[in-house]
Amino acid sequence: MTTTNVFPENFLWGGAVAANQVEGAWLEDGKLPNVTDTLIGIMNTKPSISWNEEQGIWELNLEKDRAFLSHEAVDFYHRFEADIKLMSEMGLKAFRTSISWGRIFPRGDEETPNEAGLAFYDRLIDTLLNYQMEPVITLSHYETPFALLAEYGGWQNRQLIEFFDRYASIIFDRYKGKVKYWMTFNEINNAFRMPYAAAGVIKFPATDPNEPITTLTKKEIYQAVHHLFVANALATKRMQATDPDALMGVMCSFSSLATYPIDCNPANVFGALEFKRNSYLFSDVMCRGHYPGYVKRIWREEDCAPEIADGDLALLADYTSDYIAFSYYRSTVFSVDAEMRVDTGGAKGFDNPFLTEKAPEPWNWPIDPLGLRYVMNELTDRYELPLFIVENGLGIDEGPDENGQILDTERARYLKMHIEEMAEAIQDGCDVIGYLWWGPIDIVSAGTGEMKKRYGFIYVDRHNDGSGSFDRLKKASFDYYKQIIDTNGLDLTINF
Ligand code: BG6
């Protein structure tokens, strides 16, 4: 099966990871913990921290008998050169990762950066460039330094704008001319679903330290989100002043935009629209430059409007996104009768009887490639901005067979079907910068903190109990992705 060659010559075929899911070395060379370091999976609403009444701060309280796999992750910090070499064999033209904020400003509020942290990213970015891979960089992939939550309450505190501005300025200055594609905050639209990880905000001071941190009020989360918006606009301003060729993208989890009403009952159709607005709010503000009317109604009726300082709205209006980066994994079905629970892949509403293919157990995410085309078209209709698919992938619990091989046909099929729909979307008129597979090498799952949910074309011998040699092994999909990239998306035939 082939697609007609609709992909532009310079199309960025690549892969994406996040510092906290690959690097490990969580306390090396001066780094201090960030929010994800305190969690076994960001879906967990109980981080390993406790309230210190005397000092009035949150403290780390890491349970010794539980495996925090992300602390060593897949040891990319020490193995990145070999890993990038392997990925270049696959032909990757772009590689997305995050800079771990806590390597550069370990507490987050220092005046001067940690040179050892910067030196690591100097080497990493230069290695990518040596292999002709475009670095695509997120400034915080659920990686707000923990001290900023513990001592300041996180992003509900306006001071974080200043701390982030200092961090972003140092990074833009250091990597100008080397990095073109930037994002500030990964999946910023998860702020309400996962406030601790995605919005870097915590109950502060703790009124009842035993309550899950998701008991934050709506007003507190809107406040954190407003500060994130302002920080993003300021960062965009800095980036433009430092490197006029660089581009800033909003980054959202847009599986949520493939939310279908369960039937034509107008209540379900409108409910699905409102559900999508929980995500659109973020791209509306960051791409259009102002708060939409539907959120102002919520602020009014639920008395949860954030405090907006003089000059904030002008910043949001002046510094909007150059492109839209998004993740897409699955679709969902909305009904007013179903509770919409959300995980990293998107929302879980009703089962969709028309989608018979599912991701393997135990995750079972419905596979919906047409959903990707739907989302791309919706975004193009609404914003007319370039799109960048910076995450799409399939997690499988797998390992080498008796011949030492991993024949991951399901992954290849998932990849093929999504590329076919992306090609359709391009023909529909969507302007697409590139496609980055999530986790080209096995990494620690963000949602559940485990190793066994493997996305990679490259297997890593590390397991849920922390055992393993960390050795790397190519899966069958390695050559398949290479073939796709070599033919610029023309030959999608699966030969295994
Ligand atoms: C996205 C995140 O939500 O989904 C990634 O940006 C994450 O960090 C990915 O890894 C897949 O989710 P999971 O839970 O399978 O790792």
pLDDT tens digits, one per residue of 233-282: 999 999 999 999 999 999 999 999 999 999 999 999 999 999 999 999 99
C-beta atoms surrounding 302 within 10 Å = 12
- Residue 134 is a catalytic residue: no
Q: Is residue 496 part of a domain?
A: no
**CA 345 to ligand 1 center in whole angstroms:** 7
Instruction: Indicate if ligand 1 lies below 6 Å from the C-beta of 365.
Output: no
Q: Is residue 330 part of a domain?
A: yes
pLDDT of residue 350: 78
Counting every residue written for the chain, the total comes to 496
Task: Judge whether 30 and 451 are in contact, CB under 8 Å.
Answer: no
Distance from the Cα of residue 273 to its chain's centroid: 23
Q: Is residue 350 part of a domain?
A: yes
**CA 193 to ligand 1 center in whole angstroms:** 14
Q: Is residue 372 part of a domain?
A: yes
Task: Judge whether 396 and 481 are in contact, CB under 8 Å.
Answer: no
The residue whose C-alpha atom lies closest to atom 16 belonging to ligand 1 is 445
Backbone angles phi, psi at 174, to 5 degrees: -70, -40
Contacts with 266 (C-beta within 8 Å, 6 or more apart), sequence order: none
Distance CA 436, CA 429 (A): 20
pLDDT of residue 181: 99
Task: Judge whether 91 and 486 are in contact, CB under 8 Å.
Answer: yes
Contacts with 430 (C-beta within 8 Å, 6 or more apart), sequence order: 376, 377, 379, 380, 387
**CA 84 to ligand 1 center in whole angstroms:** 21
- Residue 187 is a catalytic residue: yes
**CA 266 to ligand 1 center in whole angstroms:** 33
Q: Is residue 1 part of a domain?
A: no
**CA 145 to ligand 1 center in whole angstroms:** 19
Contacts with 456 (C-beta within 8 Å, 6 or more apart), sequence order: 439, 440, 441, 442, 443, 475
Cβ burial 377-396 (10 Å sphere, 16+ → b, else e): bebbeebebbbbbbbbbbbb
Q: Could you give the residue ranges of the DSSP H alpha helices within 243-292?
A: 266-283
Residue from 138, 282, 327, 464 whose mutation best tests the ligand 1 pocket (most atoms within 8 A of CB): 327
The residue whose C-alpha atom lies closest to atom 5 belonging to ligand 1 is 446
Distance CA 494, CA 484 (A): 10
Instruction: Indicate if ligand 1 lies below 6 Å from the C-beta of 453.
Output: yes
pLDDT of residue 346: 67
Instruction: Indicate if ligand 1 lies below 6 Å from the C-beta of 134.
Output: no
Q: Is residue 7 part of a domain?
A: no
Q: Is residue 185 part of a domain?
A: yes
Backbone angles phi, psi at 367, to 5 degrees: -100, 120
Q: Which of 434, 351, 356 is nearest to 392 (CA)?
A: 434
Backbone angles phi, psi at 235, to 5 degrees: -65, -40
* Domains of the chain: total: 1
pLDDT of residue 1: 46
pLDDT of residue 41: 87
* Per-residue pLDDT of the chain in tens (496 residues, 90 and over written 9): 445 689 999 999 999 999 999 999 999 999 999 999 999 888 877 889 999 999 999 999 887 777 899 999 999 999 999 999 999 999 999 999 999 999 999 999 999 999 999 999 999 999 999 999 999 999 999 999 999 999 999 999 999 999 999 999 999 999 999 999 999 999 999 999 999 999 999 999 998 888 877 789 999 999 999 999 999 999 999 999 999 999 999 999 999 999 999 999 999 999 999 999 999 999 999 999 999 999 999 999 999 999 999 999 999 999 999 999 999 999 999 999 877 777 777 667 778 999 999 999 888 899 999 999 999 999 999 999 999 999 999 999 999 999 999 999 999 999 999 999 999 999 999 999 999 999 999 999 999 999 999 999 999 999 999 999 999 999 999 999 999 999 999 999 999 9
How many Cα atoms within 13 Å fall on the side-chain side of residue 391? 25
Phi-psi region of 309 (alpha: psi -120 to 50; beta: other; left: phi over 0): beta
pLDDT of residue 194: 92
Q: Which atom of ligand 1 is nearest to the CA of 190?
A: 3
Q: Is residue 403 part of a domain?
A: yes
**Residue 134's domain spans which residues?**
12-486
**CA 42 to ligand 1 center in whole angstroms:** 9
Residue for token digits 């500030």?
184
Q: Which atom of ligand 1 is nearest to the CA of 187?
A: 6
* CATH classification at residue 389: 3.20.20.80
Instruction: Indicate if ligand 1 lies below 6 Å from the C-beta of 268.
Output: no
Distance from the Cα of residue 376 to its chain's centroid: 17
Choosing from 143, 391, 420, 421, the catalytic residue is 391
**CA 270 to ligand 1 center in whole angstroms:** 28
Distance CA 108, CA 34 (A): 9
Instruction: Indicate if ligand 1 lies below 6 Å from the C-beta of 253.
Output: yes
Choosing from 187, 220, 420, 421, the catalytic residue is 187
The residue whose C-alpha atom lies closest to atom 7 belonging to ligand 1 is 446
Distance CA 375, CA 2 (A): 23
SS3 467: coil
* pTM for this prediction: 0.97
> What are the angstrom distances between the C-alpha of 397 and each of 203, 224, 344, 362?
36, 36, 17, 9
Instruction: Indicate if ligand 1 lies below 6 Å from the C-beta of 186.
Output: yes
